[in-house]
Structure formats: C-alpha cells, structure tokens
Structure 1
Amino acid sequence: MLQHSTCLPIGFGLDVSTGTYKVARSFYRSCDCSSVAMGMEVFTINGDEGNWRETLLDPPYPIICPQTAIHCKGSLFYFIDKKIQQCPPQALLRFCLQDETFGITPLLNNVYPTVEDDDDIVLHELDGELCATFFSKCVQRVLDWVARDIVNPEWDCHYVINVSDHCCPVASLSIAGRFLLRRGHCLIHYYMKAHGVKEEDIFDMDDLR
C-alpha cells in the first residue's frame, strides 16, 4: 500500500455562471502499488443541495498537496502527483467550477523544462492572472511567470525580483511602485525601482495576532 498524505488540498472559488461560491475537495477512492484512483466532491455555498456531492467525472490524474488549490478565472488549479505516473504531464490539473469538468494547463514547459520539482514552484493569482513563481538558482533571483490563457498558456516572465530567498508576490502595489511579498511568515515591501527591500518594511505576521 502506498503511503499518501491525507491532507489533500481544498479549493474555493466563484462560479461566475451562477454567481455562487463553491468548495471542492478531492479524496482517494483506492490506491495500490501501481495506481491511485481519486474522486472530487463539491459543496455549493447557499446552494439548493445543502450537502456535498460527487462530480460526474473523476480527476484524470492524482493530486498532490504542496499548497492550497488556486482559483483563477473560474477554475481551480492543482499540482499533479508525478511519482506514480509513468509519463506525467508537465502541467497543472484544472477544475472548471462552471461545468465541473477537468483539464490540464501546461506548466512552464515552454520556458523552463528543467523546473520539475513542484516544491520549488508557488502557484498564485496576481492581478487577475495565473502566476507561477520560483527561485532560479542559476541567476539567484525570484522569477514570476504569468499566463493569461489558462487553457493554452504561453508563460511570460513579467517580474524578476532581486531577493536571495524564495518569495511569493501577494499583491501588486503598482501606484506606489512596490510589490507585497510573502516569505514564510513575513510580509515584505519590495521596491521595483530600487530592486530591493528595506529592513524596516519587513513585517512578521505572527506579530499581528
């Protein structure tokens, strides 16, 4: 029996076709030494059903949990568990909240095919676009890639952030010429023109309690 994490990612997002919010959670149907079968359940907030229901289609690939599912443009995005796939795609699993069907979104394969460790990639939504951020060891910079098309994406490097550790952009403060970054439990103001961070602009989120 394979040892799988029971902490599977939960997804939350807006179904724009109905104006309702949905929560999605995956679960294991079965697993053995060679394969894993998974299902998906959806709960519609303030919906008519009032309970969890299974989707008509199951996820075509098993899901792994490096982070919470990201919502962008009406879909949820998950990382695919590649350890038990013979030929896993270099892609994200996409779950459309409108028709509750699955698809795949290629992940950085047209720009950085050597980025294979999903633990090094942070997926997020920034200014309404799907983004993937990772720390490039060869240039010692954090690179933020943006895909405007979530079905057939062409990933473009929009931001190069001059920091020594892996940070993830949380918000673009374009009027002020700054980014709000997250590094572990810290929030950081990054100044685009100065290409740097001021020590007094590092905030520990534990201090906000």
Structure 2
Amino acid sequence: MTARTLGIALALAVAGAVGGYAVGAVNADEPRTISMALPVPAASPSYPVNEYDVKPDPDDPALKPGLALVETRLSAAGSKLVTGVPTAWKAGGEGNYRTFVVAGNPLNTYQLRVGIFTDKQSVGVKRIARLGALDEAEDNDALQNLVVESETDDGFVASYLQHGYRRVTMERFLTLGGTSAYATVAVIGREIDRPGLEDLLARVSGSLRVP
C-alpha cells in the first residue's frame, strides 16, 4: 500500500467514525419523563343501590314491657291451646291464627299473632317455610327491603317495609309438650317498640300450654 493509499484509507475511517457518531446523536431518544401514580378519588359503587321512601311511624306511645296478660283459649284442626295475651287487646282473625291489637290503634303500630298447627312438621321446617314466605312476598312486591337480622333454631327477627312503613317482626315456633301440635307466636311493631316486642314475645311464648 502506497503512502497515498494509506492516507485515503485513514481519512475514510475518520469520516466514518464521525458520521456514525452524528447518526447516533440524531437517533438518540430524548430523556423520557415518567409520570408518578397519583391517588384516584373514590367512585360510587357501580351496582345499583335501592333507595326507599320510608313513611314516618304513627306517633302512638311505644309498646311497654311488662303488660298484664290474661289467658285465652284457641282451637284449630282438633287441637286446643291456652295462651296469655295482653289484657283488653282486641282479638281478630280466623282459621289457625288469632291476631290481638289495641282497639283504635293504627294497624302499623304493634300487634300479637298466635297460631296453632297439627301438620306434624318440625319447628325448624316451619321457621324455614315462614322465611320463604317472606322472601316470596318481597319478590311479589308485597313488602320491600326484607332484612333477616338474626335466626335461632326456633325463631328469627326480621325487618321490612310494608306500604312504606318500617316493620319489625319477632317470631317463634314452639312444640306443645307431649303433643303433635305446635304453636307460632309473632309480635310485629315499629323500631320504637323493640323492647316491648321482645318482652311480649318471651312472656307469651312462656305462657303457652295444652289445656
């Protein structure tokens, strides 16, 4: 290789290096800014939330615990039952059930319901059937916003809306010792009546007997 040829080769090598650097500089990405994750404000639930128009309860005084009870007799399907009911409460109903209310009170204050049956189903089966009936009533819009608050082997406490009013029901299912019959006791009222409802349910349930 002559000196001239060597000179040309060196010049081309230098030019290539410079050109490559220039292309690299042109093609280099600009530094990127990484956005930081910021807190996202809480959003409302995507599922629908039912809102209910609840009417104010009647302003009659709350049901008091410790009401005096008087014995009354019920009979249905050949079975008889003695139960205590509040003195002077008015009886109504027919068939297997009797309902007791304070005469003159609005129906959506409070009431006692006592029933007697002889179909030989267990109290557990009857409790489940009664809860099923409440579920069906809600499905058919006969009541709304059914909430089963607590359950035991022989009863439950639930609340629901009926005709726009908030109702509380406490119900028990009891066998009548030594017989194939059983009784149901239910007390229904307002939120303000809860202490009285609990007391009345316990005392009426304890008064049941076969004559």
TM-score (norm. length: structure 1):
0.20
The structure, 1 or 2, with the larger RCO (C-alpha pairs under 8 Å, 6+ apart) is 2
Greater CA radius of gyration, 1 or 2? Answer: 2
TM-score (norm. length: structure 2):
0.20
Greater share of strand: 1
